[in-house]
Amino acid sequence: MENKDSLTKMYEIILDRKANPAEGSYTCYLFEKGLDKILKKVGEECAETIIAAKNDGEGSREELCGEVCDLLYHVLVMCAEKGLDISEILAENDRRAEKIGNLKQMKTVDRNT
């Protein structure tokens, strides 16, 4: 049995909702309303995540975690709508992770010449 991460599982559920609309499903509602509605929600969730990150105090950590999860969900809906598969995203993320620690050499410029 294949062990899938939670984002992949969520993406597969989103794709299933897109292919097999279910009455009362929020995901189906987003697909029905189209890309503009999905993008609006991504923007809203992004702003809410920023606000939650700025908040201090009791419950702020849980609030931030919830907002990040909301943002990830809406980004995955956007990707599904645009046909960008999560395997492509994860592969690109893996590729970028290989670069971590490879510091770029800064050029020194002789401003006197």
**Residue at 22 is within a domain:** yes
Residue 56's pLDDT is what?
84
CA distance 107 to 99: 19
Helices 60-82 & 35-54 angle (0-180, nearest 10): 160
Contact 28, 17 (CB under 8 A): yes
Q: What's residue 57's pLDDT?
A: 81
pLDDT of 106: 63
Domain count across the chain: 1
Residue 106 inside a domain? The answer is no
Tell me the C-alpha distance between 23 and 51, whole Å: 32
Residue 110 burial (CB count, 10 A): 5
Q: What is the mean pLDDT of each run of 10 residues along the chain (113 residues)?
A: 83 97 96 98 97 89 96 98 96 90 68 67
- Whole-model pTM? 0.83
Structural domain containing residue 74 = 6-89
Residue 43 placed within a domain: yes
Helices (H), the chain: 6-19, 26-33, 35-54, 60-82, 86-99
Q: What is the pLDDT of residue 8?
A: 95
Residue 50 lies in a domain: yes
Residue 20 lies in a domain: yes
**How wide is the angle at C-alpha 93 spanned by C-alphas 77 and 4, nearest 5°?**
65
